[in-house]
Amino acid sequence: MIAFLLAQIPPVPTPPPMSTPTPAPISERAVLQNGLNDAAARAKALGGTLGVTIVDATTGATAATNGDANLPMAGVQHLPIALLVYRAVDAGHLAMTREVRGAISRMLNNDDDGAADTLLDQLGGSEAANAQLRALGYQAIFLVPNDAGYATPTAIAGMLGDIAQGRLLSAASTKNLLNWLTGVSTAQARLRAGFAPNVTLAHVPGTLAGGTGENIATNDVGIANVNGRTLVVVAMMQGAHGNDASRDAIIASIAQTATKATSTNP
């Protein structure tokens, strides 16, 4: 069955030619890394582990802390599910019916794991969906029903960058998916709070509560247009105690760091 599904995976569209990024000045990289180190220390003080990967697609600057750590995605796994749904639509294997569109809306706008599982079933289940992710080169993203999947921040950043550059979907589907992500209004105190109001942010948050004040996952991942730059920002925090505001503020600080870095060498 998996072999049949793999055979149905459409070829990855050839991306448009891109200009070579201008190397980022050392000062920009230093601002990024110093900010991420500070955020990671704040998460550690709450008993948590923070994984972050930032990629400046304009300059090529990257910064990470715990970028290769396997962390719970919670609602962030709605991103790869939505991607695979649109790939199935592009290939003609799935129709964008009212029911499918409604499930996408509930999954992304309401963080509805039931809707996510419905779409996962449409893709043939988690095993088939994960096989498709491996075929696309995403070895460190694992989908599990009930929003129990996990991934590395660097892998999610790679997927977001590929989506933004039109590498995975038709132009129409890329636009539609990014429009969905731009319209997400949940988790406003995370990345959204750290960027200026005029910054366009296409993002997917994720939250999974634990017991005794511990939060299993406080996440937010997205693509932002900041100071003329296209930034991919992935922040995933596991196991932090404290209240929601303290955890959200750490995620917001990462967006503030990204803004500061792009302002250092405009």
State pLDDT tens for residues 199-221: 999 999 999 988 666 789 999 99
Rounded CA-CA distance 38/42 in Å is 6
Please state, rounded to an integer, the average pLDDT across all residues of the chain: 90
Question: Which tens digit of pLDDT belongs to each residue from 47-105?
Answer: 999 999 999 888 888 899 999 999 999 999 999 999 999 999 999 999 999 999 999 99
Amino acid at 114: G
Q: What CATH number labels 44-264?
A: 3.40.710.10
In angstroms, what CA-CA distances link 190 with 235, 244, 252? 9, 10, 5
- Cβ(175)–Cβ(85) under 8 Å? no
Q: Write down the pTM of the prediction.
A: 0.89
pLDDT at 265: 58
Per 3-state DSSP, the chain is made up of helix, strand and coil in percentages (nearest 5) of: 45, 20, 35
Q: Give the chain's largest Cα–Cα span.
A: 52
Those residues whose C-beta lies under 8 Å from the C-beta of residue 148, and which sit 6 or more positions away, are: 72
Q: How many C-beta atoms lie closer than 10 Å to residue 194's C-beta?
A: 25
Domain boundaries, the chain: 44-264
